[in-house]
Amino acid sequence: MEVIILDTEREVAREAADLVAGLVRRTPTAVLGVATGSSPQGIYRELARRVAAGDLSFARARAFALDEYVGLPREHAESYHSVIARDVVAPLGFDADLVRVPDGLDPDTDASTDRYERAIAEAGGVDLQILGIGTNGHIGFNEPTSSLASRTRIKTLAPQTRRDNARFFSSPADVPAHCITQGLGTILEARQLVLVAQGASKASAIAHAVEGPLSSMWPGSLLQLHPHATVIVDEAAASEL
C-alpha cells in the first residue's frame, strides 16, 4: 500500500485527481468507481476544472457508484442517484447512460444487486475505485463486521454512520436505516484503489486501515489485501499513524 501524506485538503484532491486524470487520458473508456460523501468532493471539483479547461474528457468513460440508500426516492436531493448526477455526471461531463448507481427502490433486492454485480463484470470490471472512509472505518457502506469477501447486498447502517450522515438530512430520523452497497469483495476486485481522507475525525480509521491488523471490525483494513492501493491523506487524518 502506498501512503501519501500532504499538507492540505487541496493537495490531497489534486494528487488523487492526477491519478484519475492519468488513467482517463491513457484509456478514455476507463471504468471508474465513484464514491459519495464529502471526502471525494475536492477530487471531483479538481477534475471538473480540468474538464472545463479542455484538458480532460469523461465523455466515453463509465462509472459505477459504491452505494445507495434504500427507500429514498431518486429525486430526493440526498439520494446517491441525485448526488452522483449533481457532483459527478454533470460537472465531469459523463454520458449519463454510462453511469450506474445501485437501485435502492427495487423490492427484489437480491435480483437488483445481482444485476449490479453483472453490470460491473460486463463492463470489464472497475479500473480505478475512488474511496472515502467512515469514522468507524466503513468503506462504501460496509460497516464493521462486514465480510471481507462480501458482494453487493443490502445492509443496515450503523448508528454512528446515521449520526455522521444526519448533516445531509433535515433530522437524524430522516437518515434511511438501510442501504445497498458494493461488497468488500466487489471493491477488492477493482484494479486500483485510491482512498482519500481529510481531518482528525478520520485519524483512527486511517490508522486501523493502514497499520492495524486485517479485521472485519475495521473494513478499511481490506486495502492491505490489494496489490495497487493508494491512501492519500492530510496531516490531520495521518495523525495517528
Report in angstroms how near the CB of residue 30 gets to ligand GLP at its nearest: 20
Query: CA 202 → CA 98, 218, 241, distances in Å?
Result: 32, 12, 11
Question: Is residue 137 at the binding interface for ligand GLP, with CB under 6 A as the rule?
Answer: no
C-alpha cell at 172: 437524524
How does DSSP assign 197-231, residue by residue?
Answer: E-SGGGHHHHHHHHTSPP-TTSGGGGGGG-TTEEE
Question: Is residue 42 at the binding interface for ligand GLP, with CB under 6 A as the rule?
Answer: no
Residue 56 or residue 180: which is nearer to ligand GLP going by CB? Answer: 180
Contact window for ligand GLP (CB under 6 A) among 30-38, 51-59, 83-91, 231-239: 30-38
Kindly name the residue from 81, 138, 208, 226 that is annotated as catalytic: 138
Which residue's Cβ has the minimum distance to ligand GLP?
Answer: 132
Question: Is residue 35 at the binding interface for ligand GLP, with CB under 6 A as the rule?
Answer: yes
Kindly name the residue from 9, 46, 67, 68 that is annotated as catalytic: 67
Residue 61 or residue 139: which is nearer to ligand GLP going by CB? Answer: 139
Q: Residue 107 gets which letter from DSSP?
A: S
Question: Is residue 67 at the binding interface for ligand GLP, with CB under 6 A as the rule?
Answer: yes
Contact 77, 84 (CB under 8 A): no
Residues 6 or more apart in contact with residue 194 via CB below 8 angstroms: 16, 19, 20, 128, 129, 130, 131, 229, 230, 232
Question: Is residue 187 at the binding interface for ligand GLP, with CB under 6 A as the rule?
Answer: no
Tally the residues of the chain: 241
Question: Angle formed by the axes of helices 41-52 and 9-26, to 10°?
Answer: 50
Catalytic, 143? Answer yes
Catalytic, 138? Answer yes
Question: Is residue 216 at the binding interface for ligand GLP, with CB under 6 A as the rule?
Answer: no
Report in angstroms how near the CB of residue 44 gets to ligand GLP at its nearest: 12
Strands 67-69 and 178-181: antiparallel
Residue 57 or residue 240: which is nearer to ligand GLP going by CB? Answer: 240
Question: Is residue 140 at the binding interface for ligand GLP, with CB under 6 A as the rule?
Answer: yes
> Can you tell me which of 23, 51, 66, 175 binds ligand GLP, judged by CB under 6 A?
66
Report in angstroms how near the CB of residue 93 gets to ligand GLP at its nearest: 22
Q: Residue 121 gets which letter from DSSP?
A: H
Query: CA 70 → CA 107, 141, 166, distances in Å?
Result: 10, 12, 15
Report in angstroms how near the CB of residue 160 gets to ligand GLP at its nearest: 10
The residues that are catalytic are 67, 136, 138, 143
Binding site for ligand GLP (CB under 6 A): 35-39, 66-67, 132-134, 140-141, 161, 165
